[in-house]
Structure 1
Amino acid sequence: MEQRPWYWIDDVARLDTPALVVYPNRVRENITRLVNTIGDVNRLRPHVKTNKAREASQLLLDAGIRKFKCATIAEAEMLAMIEAPDVLLAYQPNGTKIHRLLALMAKYPRTRFSCLVDNSITARELSQQAVSDNLVVPVYIDLNVGMNRTGIAPDTAVLTLYDELSQLAGVNPVGLHAYDGHLRNPDLAARTADCDAAFQPVYQLSEALLARGFAEPVLVMGGSPTFPIHAQRPGVECSPGTFIYWDRGYQDGLPEQPFRPAALVVARVISLPNSATLCIDVGHKSVAAEGVLSERITFLNAPELVAIGQSEEHLVVEAGVGHPYQIDDVLYGLPNHICPTVSLYERAYTIENKRIADEWLTIARDRKISV
């Protein structure tokens, strides 16, 4: 009997494509690999930006993980809905976001929420609103260690801001946050050297805060590329996110990491424009439309297909004259970047024993759930 590949779906005819599918057994395996890599679930603070679903996040809880990281108020609320104990909004709230964060704290008192700040103006506004709502918000100072988007340079200005935060009512400085997602050298030794250099001033700031009499600051560091490096640092919390589903980009770029793809985009051939090309129903609205066109999605059961054109609902690929493909052929696509791909779908279909088993709503892709 022919052995079907791991991604095969026996009842795929039930799927209207393009469709996002998730393989929960592989998700569980990836979570186990995550825990085994670090050896201590208390040092894990995974980012839920990739999955955006209660069910996937619940599997993290089931594995004993109690700390989480997110980027939006909706992601924070999704975690609170499953009673995640500790949620860091890894984003600096300004304006209305401050009110929404405080509303979350009031609505979900069983979850400990925290956030980032990188300046006095935001800190004072957060303080004022928190005092008005009779709340205290734990805050981390966001450090710029080379990503160059948010955060302040890891120098003495951090000590000044930390001291200011400690004197503001309604906020409580608890640590430092640094995302080094720009460090992606495929060579692990080179990536490690870069990561160590970026971490050194963070460590020095931690020591300086201790010397000034502050409690030992919590250090929340990194993402997927530097996870295996920060995992070796005692006391540092690590925040990978993509591990849960993995993708082609990290599979190729981070070969030392043990995670396996657990989410795919299922598509179909919908037209044969000429003797050498196919048109597939996976456009910009179905897979992350970033990077080089030819690398956005790889079809596991048709890896030779090369994308030559894409629009909102269509992908045209070169198949070669004499190709075997027919209208309605099913293709299993591995996205190059799974995180923004997931957010294009309102639900994922789970696959168990090669059959469609359930649906996971991508509830946190919305900007608002209830708060």
Structure 2
Amino acid sequence: MISTNESGNGNNSGRDSYPENSVNGGENNPKRPWYLIEDTRALESPALVIYYDRLIDNIRRIKKMVGDDSRIRPHVKTSKMPAVCRILQQHYITRFKCATIAEAEMLAQLNAEDVLLAYPLIGPDLERWLQLLKRYNKTHFSCLVSNLENARHLNSRAKSAAVQLGVYVDIDAGMHRTGIAPDKAAFFIEELKKLSHVQLIGLHVYDGHLKIDDPVERQAASDELFVPVKELLDRCNRLRATPLKLIIGGSPSFSTHIKRQGAELSPGTFVFWDQGYAMHFKDLPFEPAAVIITRVIDHLDNGTCTVDMGTKAIASEMPFPRARFLNAPDLQEVFQSEEHLNLRLKEGSTAQLPPVGSLLYAVPFHICPTVALYDHAWVIKKAKVADQWQVQARKRKINF
């Protein structure tokens, strides 16, 4: 069955003036799907929509799980939206992690207390970073280091600029993306002590490879991974007056680190969640809060239909499926181009293709790069469009 609030007359006219709520019976229907928007006739497609109450619920869930707001350091790469970061601040979450200088500046404009740029500063990005530090002096900034040559270059430029650079040592805990192995990090940390304008704050560990469905097996793998990290921390802290801080974990793994005393946890996807994580990490309590709305634009003679959700509208780095159609679960992807996604009914389905003009609600399999495709999102409250939020940090540069 196709549930849509834009089409109910079964024709293929392509008009956008179908009777509202003709299938689901209106706002007072107790069986009304959570995602259904009351009046979408003026809502362009494809569009990114955020369900406000679900976003708030996800924030409340992580606060309850962790139990200490100061240990939650969300990665803002998921939302890239000042409005979402402001809501996190209103929930007493004041420390953040980011991946780009634009995201760091967005947070600084909100007077965020503490911002970690979880990315190496290479080339002109270092000069941009130094400018950012001078412009936004109410925010404490830090970045990652794991390479001695780079660390010495950071120190040289910081000395010339008369600033102290706060850094976290990036530990490669097995993902092999960036970072230094734990057994080599102690020597590296000793070398950092020789640098006058680089201040070591702590360790950063991203274990993004721990995408294990079973929570017991995930916890066991996390505990094994943490052994050399703990040994490194203990070794370093024996020689320090101020213990090193630890920032660890992403959305799939952060729950495995909750019991590690003092560790700051840095998931990002939890705010919006997505279909990929929902399928694999059923022990985590989050719900999808972001959806792409798309319209059927044509029916083909080969028994397929096409919607306006091409690769410019949803993350497409993975094989199909790339979305779950909430109101048309029997649809599956056939092929996708920049502006088009061709769909057919699954084998054995008794459903019908949605009429031309129908509105479909799609939960992306990967929400983070999907958000980056939009310059704004529509905010839904009580089934109505209530606001528009800018995706400010989808830009590579704001001011610096």
Normalised to the residue count of structure 1, the TM-score between the two structures is 0.97
Structure with greater helix percent: 1
1:333 matched to 2:359: no
Gaps of 5+ in 2: 1-27
* Superimposed CA distance per residue, residues 316-340 of structure 1 (whole angstroms, 9 cap, x where no aligned partner): 1113687152110000000000000
Counterpart amino acid of residue 269 in structure 1: V
* Superimposed CA distance per residue, residues 204-247 of structure 1 (whole angstroms, 9 cap, x where no aligned partner): 00000012235211011010111111112111110000000000
Q: Which moved more, 1:86-95 or 1:316-325?
A: 316-325
For the residue of structure 2 that corresponds to 1:161, the secondary structure is: helix
Q: Which moved more, 1:335-344 or 1:7-16?
A: 7-16
Counterpart amino acid of residue 339 in structure 2: E
Task: Flag the structure with larger Rg.
Answer: 2
Residue matched to 1:124: 152
Residue matched to 1:183: 210
Residue matched to 2:10: none
Contact 1:276 1:322 in 2 (8 A): no
* Superimposed CA distance per residue, residues 242-266 of structure 1 (whole angstroms, 9 cap, x where no aligned partner): 0000000010111000011000000
Contact 1:275 1:321 in 2 (8 A): no
Shift of 1:275: 5.9
Shift of 1:4: 1.9
1:315 matched to 2:315: no
Contact 1:347 1:360 in 2 (8 A): yes
1:104 matched to 2:124: no
Residue matched to 1:262: 289
Gaps of 5+ in 1: none
Instruction: Tell me, in whole angstroms, the C-alpha distance in 2 between the residues paired with 1:197 and 1:297.
Output: 34
Instruction: Tell me, in whole angstroms, the C-alpha distance in 2 between the residues paired with 1:75 and 1:166.
Output: 29
* Superimposed CA distance per residue, residues 131-166 of structure 1 (whole angstroms, 9 cap, x where no aligned partner): 1111111101001111111001001x2112112222
For the residue of structure 2 that corresponds to 1:76, the secondary structure is: helix
Residue matched to 1:347: 376
Map residues 2-13 of structure 1 onto 2, 5 A cutoff. Answer: 2=29, 3-13=31-41
Map residues 130-209 of structure 1 onto 2, 5 A cutoff. Answer: 130-155=158-183, 157-209=184-236
Contact 1:223 1:241 in 2 (8 A): yes
Contact 1:276 1:323 in 2 (8 A): no
Counterpart amino acid of residue 153 in structure 1: A
Contact 2:330 2:351 in 1 (8 A): no
* Superimposed CA distance per residue, residues 30-52 of structure 1 (whole angstroms, 9 cap, x where no aligned partner): 01101110000111111000000
- RMSD value over aligned CA atoms? 1.2
Residue matched to 2:6: none
Equivalent residues, number: 369
Contact 1:142 1:152 in 2 (8 A): yes
* Superimposed CA distance per residue, residues 159-198 of structure 1 (whole angstroms, 9 cap, x where no aligned partner): 1211222221211001111100001110111111111111
Instruction: Tell me, in whole angstroms, the C-alpha distance in 2 between the residues paired with 1:340 and 1:17.
Output: 18
Residue matched to 2:244: 217
Instruction: Tell me, in whole angstroms, the C-alpha distance in 1 between the residues paired with 2:299 and 2:240.
Output: 70
1:301 matched to 2:327: yes
1:31 matched to 2:59: yes
Instruction: Tell me, in whole angstroms, the C-alpha distance in 2 between the residues paired with 1:355 and 1:32.
Output: 22
Shift of 1:352: 1.1
For the residue of structure 1 that corresponds to 2:115, the secondary structure is: strand
1:82 matched to 2:107: no
Q: Which moved more, 1:350-359 or 1:82-91?
A: 350-359
Instruction: Tell me, in whole angstroms, the C-alpha distance in 2 between the residues paired with 1:45 and 1:57.
Output: 11
Residue matched to 1:67: 95
Percent identity among equivalent residues?
44
For the residue of structure 1 that corresponds to 2:116, the secondary structure is: strand
1:41 matched to 2:69: yes
Instruction: Tell me, in whole angstroms, the C-alpha distance in 1 between the residues paired with 2:109 and 2:54.
Output: 24
1:358 matched to 2:384: no
Instruction: Tell me, in whole angstroms, the C-alpha distance in 2 between the residues paired with 1:13 and 1:166.
Output: 62
Which of 51, 57, 64 is residue 79 of structure 2 equivalent to?
A: 51
Instruction: Tell me, in whole angstroms, the C-alpha distance in 1 between the residues paired with 2:224 and 2:126.
Output: 34
Counterpart amino acid of residue 298 in structure 1: R
